[in-house]
Amino acid sequence: MSLLSQPVFRFAPSPNGHLHLGHALSALLNFDAAQDSGGRFLIRIEDIDTVRCTSALVRDALEDLAWLGLTWEEPVRRQSEHFADYAAALLRLEEMGLVYRAFLTRSEIRDFVARVETGGRAYPRDPDGAPLYPGDEAVLSADEIAARDAAGESFALRLDMKKALARIGKPLFWMEEGSGPQGETGRLPADPSVWGDVVIARKDTPTSYHLSVTVDDALQGITHVMRGRDLFQATSVHRLLQEVLGLPEPCYHHHRLLLDHDGRKLSKSARDTSLRDLRRQGCSAQDIRRLVGLA
Ligand code: GLU
């Protein structure tokens, strides 16, 4: 197989806790797909939250993955070592006039939404259930916005969704090789507008999940993004950023999630399913494969 057509897969955990069975499923699916297709397998550590993603947790995550039997290309990309790459992409978005400073705090947004809803109107929410950003002008006067700016108050940098969509000026799609929550598969329409003005960066962090994942998938030449179905809807935002920034389009494969006894997605706090604990209890890597349904 020529290098050009060689598929490139990645497993991209955010180690703000120990890896659990849900991570094992995703990592093994990516690793197996790379092996089966003669492709490459990369690990990327998504640790832009440098407070919660400690070096000890990163070290433990890599140790767990090695114990599972995975091998990967070195060096592992740690996002915390590449803020300059995301800042460069952010600057391009700013130069296109697609990013603005958003000063409303969470509680100001919450109060605004409550006021609208007591008036009997439903307030629009994104696929994760968070209210869409109302815009500073909905709550603050022009003087108040200018005063916050002048005082150096903290802000989020948000993508002006309407402007970004207008700039693209054509419908967006992505290739889904797995399936969405409703069984969606094949060439699917992307609808980033359901997210409103997403956060692209913050005053003290020149990136966000959406920006760094999009930049890195392109920089690392990822051809196949295989990840949990909880990120299915986020793909619309990633497709938009790819188009605006002129980045290549990978294909996507969203996979099933492992649920806990109450039907919720496994979380890092679900200590009973952490790979460390299972290993301490005597599980083998082969047992983990069986536990996640990949015997
Ligand atoms: N770092 C993200 C997570 O752990 C996954 C990002 C992705 O696969 O696109 O949820």
| Residue 295 pLDDT level (bands cut at 50, 70, 90) | confident
The confidence score (pLDDT) of residue 266 equals 72
Of all residues in the chain, what percent carry a pLDDT higher than 90? 92
13 lines ligand 1 (CB under 6 A): yes
In angstroms, the CA 50 to CA 246 distance is 28
| Residue 155 pLDDT level (bands cut at 50, 70, 90) | very high
Of 270, 290, 280, nearest in space to 18 by CA: 270
213 lines ligand 1 (CB under 6 A): yes
Residue minimizing CA distance to atom 6 of ligand 1 = 12
Of all residues in the chain, what percent carry a pLDDT higher than 70? 97
The confidence score (pLDDT) of residue 5 equals 82
Q: What is the mean pLDDT of residues 196-210?
A: 97
- Sheet containing 77-78: give its strands across: 77-78, 40-45, 8-11, 224-228, 251-255, 172-176, 186-190
In angstroms, the CA 131 to CA 257 distance is 25
Tokens matching residue 158:
């948000």
Query: Residue 86 C-alpha to ligand 1 middle, in angstroms?
Result: 16
The confidence score (pLDDT) of residue 270 equals 56
In angstroms, the CA 261 to CA 51 distance is 30
Q: Which atom of ligand 1 is nearest to the CA of 238?
A: 9
Hey, where are the domains in the chain? Answer: 1-81+258-295, 82-256
Q: Is the pLDDT of residue 271 over 60?
A: no
The confidence score (pLDDT) of residue 2 equals 54
Q: Maximum Cα–Cα distance for the chain, whole Å?
A: 63
1-81+258-295 and 82-256 in the same fold: yes
CATH class, range 1-81+258-295 = alpha beta
The confidence score (pLDDT) of residue 265 equals 73
Question: Probe ligand 1: pick from 231, 255, 257, max atoms within 8 Å of CB?
Answer: 231
In angstroms, the CA 281 to CA 264 distance is 24
Q: Does domain 82-256 have CATH number 3.40.50.300?
A: no
The confidence score (pLDDT) of residue 267 equals 66
Q: Is the pLDDT of residue 236 over 60?
A: yes
12 lines ligand 1 (CB under 6 A): yes
Cβ atoms within 10 Å of 140's Cβ, excluding its own = 16
| Residue 272 pLDDT level (bands cut at 50, 70, 90) | low
222 lines ligand 1 (CB under 6 A): no
Query: Residue 145 C-alpha to ligand 1 middle, in angstroms?
Result: 34
Q: What is the mean pLDDT of residues 160-179?
A: 98
Q: Helix crossing, 209-219 with 235-245: angle to 10°? A: 60
pLDDT digits (tens, 9 = 90+) for 25-59: 999 999 999 999 999 999 999 999 999 999 999 99
In angstroms, the CA 246 to CA 202 distance is 23
- Binning the chain into helix, strand and coil, the percentages to the nearest 5 are 45, 15, 40
Q: What is the mean pLDDT of residues 275-285?
A: 95
pLDDT digits (tens, 9 = 90+) for 91-145: 999 999 999 999 999 999 999 999 999 988 899 999 999 999 999 999 999 999 9
Query: Residue 149 C-alpha to ligand 1 middle, in angstroms?
Result: 32
Helix (H, G, I), strand (E, B) or coil at 216: helix
Tokens matching residue 161:
């969704």
Q: Which atom of ligand 1 is nearest to the CA of 46?
A: 1
pLDDT digits (tens, 9 = 90+) for 71-91: 999 999 999 999 999 999 999
